[in-house]
Each structure stands twice: as C-alpha cells, then as structure tokens.
Structure 1
Amino acid sequence: MAVTTTTPSTAGKTSLTTSASTPGWARWANRHRKWLFASPAMVFVAVLIIFPVAWTLYLSLTNAEGSVRAESEFVGFANYLDVLSDTERFWPAVLRTVVFTGGVLAAEIVLGMAIALLLWRPFKGEKWVRVAILLPLVATPVAVGMMWRLIFDPNIGMANRVLGWVGLGPWPWLAGEHSALPTTMLIDVWQWTPMIVLILLAGLTSLSDEPQEAALIDGASAWQRFRHVTLPLLMPTLVVAVLLRGIDALKTFDILYATKGKGGGSFHEVETLNVYAYGLSFDYNEYGVSSTVLIIFFLIIIGSMWAVTSRRKDAA
C-alpha cells in the first residue's frame, strides 16, 4: 500500500491554496475575530451608557418639570447659567462633596495602609482578624446608615451614653449643623476602609521580599524601608485604590440620605451634589435643573478619573 507523505513545502502550498480560496469576508472575520466576539457586549454596554447620558444632556437644555412626559421648551444653556450662579445651594453642595470625598479618602487610605501593613506578615489568628475587619463590607450602605443613626441618636443612642461613662457631655453627632458632615464621614470611613485594606494587602503580598531584605541588611529602619522601598513599589496599586474609592466616594448617596433624609438635613448640612440632584428630581420635579446638576457632576467625575489615571501612568 502506498503511503503519501507531505513535506513542509507541500503543506505550506496547501495552506496558501486554502487561504486563497477562502472568501474575503471570512479572511477579514478571522483577522478581527476577537473584536467580533466582543462587539455585542461592547455595543450593549455602550448603549446602556450613552442613552442615559444623552437623555440627561437633552433634559438639561430644556425647562422640563412636573413630568418628563410633559411638554418642555428648549432653553439652551440657561439652566447651566442659573445653576452655576446659585451660591445658596449648588456651590455649598460642591464644597461639601469635595470635603466629604477628600476627607474620607485621606482617612481610608491612611487607615487602610496601616491595617494592610499589620496584616502583611503572618501571625496567629490572622484569619479571624481579617474576617472581623471585612465585616462592615457585608452590610448595605442604607442598613449601615440606619444602624449608625440609632447609635448617634442624641436621646437613646449608645454613643452619648459611652461619652457619659467617661465624664464627657453629650455630643450632637448627626443632629448638629456643623457636626453632621464629619459624623457621616466617620460612618463612611468605618464601612469602606476594609475595601482599601483588601486592595493594598493584595498589592503588598505581590511584592518581592528581596528589596526589603537588601534594605534590612543595609541597616534601614522600618520607616525608611516603608518610605523608600515599600511605598514606591506599592504606588501603582495605591493609585488604583485612590481611583476606585475616590470615584465611589464622590457618588455617595445611601449613607447621607439614610442618616439625614431629604435635602441632607434641615440646614442642608450634608447635602452633596448627589443629594441635591436627587431632591431637585424627586422632591421638586425640576428635571431640567436636576439634569444640569447631574451633567456638571458627571464632568467632575470624568475630570477626576482623568487626573488620577494620569497620575497612575506616571507612577507606572
């Protein structure tokens, strides 16, 4: 029986012949198959993002109010001029948003870094400690807000009772005009610091031990090893943590609304841009103005993302 052998040159000619006989659209699809397979999901996500943003942008250019189906007139940038000139509600809300985001982010990064460094090296009972630290992430923000609202209640709350045990007077906590915002920041730090711990701990465990050992041999102290070895190596991970948590903190709504209700309190003491836009939409039905606030807020978030992403590229 004759045996047919195929030499490399023959196989190459056969492959070329097959390729040449394949229709052009099939060759194009084969070259771009990764994009073709991903395109349905990409289109779906793009539609989910583009349509709400485009609709909100359209509403921001109208005087829509009462109902989104009611007739409205095109007013151009009149809403933007009114919002940007509002020094009673809009700009104070912007300031509170910046203070809230910057404050909780700074506290969570510092505390998260400290806790992650403590959990970096193995120790007895570390699994139980990690579980205890991650417990705040289990509850929803609304439940957390309601729980702390009871704890900080000026009459029956445990917080003032503990202060009384140590001889300190009652503190207004959420009831005070100037203490409400710091108190809500404390609640946010309590719940979301574990998220920073998870991210930074993952980054720390991926670092090589060789730079640490070399610095230790050279006589570097613990602070010097952290400042000149650990922190620079951890910087890309730290930037990611700042990006994720910073954008999430900018959009905080659940805790603020659960603890202070409509308008961020009687004196709007915790009214951030999210709470302000929500009130305009669902309390006053001013959809045109609220859409304007949301578009401005959206631009602030995009600008923040761009700034942190640029910093991440520099760190990398």
Structure 2
Amino acid sequence: MAVAALPPKRAPQKQNAWKAYSDWANEHRKWLFAAPAMIFVAVLIAFPLGWTLYLSLTDASGSVRAKSEFIGLENYADVLTDTDRFWPAVLRTFVFTAVALTVQLVLGMAIALLLWRPFKGEKWVRVAILLPLVATPVAVGMMWRLIFDPNIGFANQLLGFVGIGPQPWLSGQYSALPTVIFIDIWQWTPMVVIILLAGLTSLSDEPDEAARIDGATAWQRFRFITVPLLMPTIIVAILLRSIDALKTFDLLYATKGRGGGSFHEVETLNVYAYGLSFDYNDYGVSSTVLIIFFLIIVAVMFVLTRRRKEVQK
C-alpha cells in the first residue's frame, strides 16, 4: 500500500521575518552604524537653525523670555537696506577672507614646496612651522595685542631701531583690519602648509621627471604639472580656510573688543551679530544677520565643492 508523501515542513514565519531583517541589516550596515551619530548631529544643527530662523521672523528683544510678535520679513528688509553697519560688515568679512586666504595659499605653497624634498633638520623645521597652531586664537590675539601696543609694544620699538616712527597698528582706524589679517595669516598659514604638503607627497614623481628630461624649467614643471595635479588638494585647502576665515570671531574680539573697535574698523558679520545679541539684546535682528550669514557660507561651500568635483573629473 503506497504511503502518501508528507508535505515539507514550513519554516516558522517569525524565523523568515528575522532572516529577511538580518539580510537587510547586513546589506545596509554602514548606514545603520552611522545612523545614531547622523541623527544626533542633525538634531544639534536643525534645532538651533530652526530657532534662529523663527527669531529672525519676530521682534524678539530685551530678553529671550519676553513676548515677541511675528513680523515676517520685516527684519530682513531692515537689515538688507542697512548701509551703515550691515553692508560694511559684509565688505569687511569678504576682504578679511579674500586677503588672508590669498596670502596663506601663496605662502603655504612656497613653504610646502621647500619642505617637499627631504633635507637635514626638516623635522625641527616642520615643528617650528606648526607652533602657531598650538595656541588658541584668543591667546594669539592677546599676544599680538601686546606686541602691537602703540606705547610698549615690541613692534614699534623694533621700528624705532631703524628710524621709523611708532605706528598705530591695532588702534588705527585704517590699519586695524590689515593688522588682524596679518595675525590670521601668521596663525593659519601652517594649516595650509600641512594640507598642501600632504598633497605634494602623494604625487607621483614620473610626470615631473619626464618633463625634466624634456628640458622643462622648474617654473614650467610647477605651473603645468605640479599645480594641475595638486588642484583638488588646493580646492580642499581653499574650502576649509575660506569657511573658517568667514566665521572668524575670537581673534577679532580678542584684539579689538566690542563692535570691532571704536569705528567698527574690524567689525565682520560675526562681530556685528554678536553685538546685536549681547550688547543690544536685539535678538530678532541678530538672528536675521546670522541667517543671511549662514546662507552666504552655504553658497560659498556649494561653489567650492562644485569646483572641486569639476577639477576631479
């Protein structure tokens, strides 16, 4: 008598669901491991940005607990038509960033090229070059404030030895901004050196050697071989330093104090927004300035990131 074949046992539904979830988790494990940190960072960024955006649409002032009214884009209209403080602060911000970044790139490239080839004592030279990065910007600002003091500062004493009269440096209306730019260059050029030197050491020697055999001069090899190959690294250095220079606050506040000086000679957007918040308690207008400043930084990041992708193609 034939025995009927038993149907195969079906795996439990829970086991199949667990296996499907396990396979999905294994396939997306890199996102799952990074998700907690990404969510945490997103919340940290989203909440302050959202609250600042809300304040920019109100007339909040006096105290953060005081009642405020929704006024829409009135603060933005007032800020964007302010030619006394806002637009001069925008101009100083871009002048500070452009001049500091340009000089830092030129000096950084020159120093990186000097350190590119090994030489005796190069380790000590590299340590000496990196020393400005050790101190905080506030400490650097206070140090240079003493050096540039018009009465007891070492800078004027040094000029006196060569027959030049004392200079106002940080206390002058027209010399303060170039002076703080110099201080920023002194502190942050080593960072550009590190980035460019890392890029130089990763380059292959074959293109340079081939050009040398063909009779190319040192300048031609640098211009047509080294710079094009190093361009992605240069864009990274520009991206990092431009964003950092745009946001500079501690150095300016340590050297000039409130308002960027008596004549607002070094008042950038960061210093201006700080003064509106903590000196005048005008939180609505200060939030408006910060939102506009945030959009400027995002635009700069977008342009430089897009440029970097074009270079890498």
Shorter chain as normaliser: what TM range?
Answer: over 0.9
Matched, 1:290 2:286: yes
**CA deviation digits over 1:90-126, x for unaligned, max 9?**
0000000000000000000000000000000011111
Matched, 1:309 2:305: yes
Percent of aligned pairs with the same amino acid: 76
In the alignment, which of 7, 30, 54 is matched to residue 58 of structure 1? Answer: 54
**CA deviation digits over 1:5-36, x for unaligned, max 9?**
xxxxxxxxxxxx99x95313333323322212
Aligned partner of 1:22 in structure 2 is 16
Give the length in aligned residue pairs: 300
Aligned partner of 2:295 in structure 1 is 299
Matched, 1:250 2:246: yes
Counterpart Cα distance in 1 of 2:260 and 2:292: 19
SS at match of 2:165: coil
Residue 212 of structure 1 aligns to which amino acid in structure 2? D
Taking structure 2 as the reference length, what is the TM-score of the superposition?
0.94
Matched, 1:208 2:204: yes
Taking structure 1 as the reference length, what is the TM-score of the superposition?
0.93
Superposition pairs for residues 39-58 of structure 1, below 5 Å? Answer: 39-58=35-54
Unpaired segments ≥5 residues, structure 1:
1-16
Matched, 1:170 2:153: no
Aligned partner of 2:195 in structure 1 is 199
Matched, 1:116 2:119: no
Matched, 1:270 2:261: no
Counterpart Cα distance in 2 of 1:169 and 1:133: 31
Matched, 1:33 2:29: yes
In the alignment, which of 77, 84, 91 is matched to residue 88 of structure 1? Answer: 84
SS at match of 1:161: helix
In the alignment, which of 64, 68, 73 is matched to residue 69 of structure 2? Answer: 73
Counterpart Cα distance in 2 of 1:245 and 1:70: 39
Matched, 1:188 2:212: no
Counterpart Cα distance in 2 of 1:27 and 1:233: 42
Aligned partner of 1:11 in structure 2 is none
Matched, 1:160 2:167: no
Counterpart Cα distance in 2 of 1:249 and 1:50: 23
Counterpart Cα distance in 2 of 1:262 and 1:190: 23
**CA deviation digits over 1:112-154, x for unaligned, max 9?**
0000000000111111111110000000000000000000000
SS at match of 2:204: coil
Counterpart Cα distance in 1 of 2:286 and 2:15: 60
Deviating 4+ runs (over 6 angstroms): none
Unpaired segments ≥5 residues, structure 2:
1-10
**CA deviation digits over 1:244-277, x for unaligned, max 9?**
0000000000110000000000000000000000
Counterpart Cα distance in 1 of 2:48 and 2:31: 25
SS at match of 2:302: helix
Instruction: Quote how far apart the aligned CAs of 1:80 are.
Output: 0.2
Aligned partner of 1:102 in structure 2 is 98
Residue 46 of structure 2 aligns to which amino acid in structure 1? I
Residue 22 of structure 1 aligns to which amino acid in structure 2? N
SS at match of 1:22: helix
Instruction: Quote how far apart the aligned CAs of 1:171 are.
Output: 1.1
Residue 251 of structure 1 aligns to which amino acid in structure 2? K
Residue 205 of structure 1 aligns to which amino acid in structure 2? T
Counterpart Cα distance in 1 of 2:294 and 2:262: 26
Counterpart Cα distance in 2 of 1:271 and 1:180: 10
Residue 257 of structure 1 aligns to which amino acid in structure 2? Y
Aligned partner of 1:220 in structure 2 is 216
In the alignment, which of 135, 139, 149 is matched to residue 135 of structure 2? Answer: 139
Residue 125 of structure 1 aligns to which amino acid in structure 2? G
**CA deviation digits over 1:46-88, x for unaligned, max 9?**
0011111000000000000111111100000000000001000
Residue 235 of structure 1 aligns to which amino acid in structure 2? M
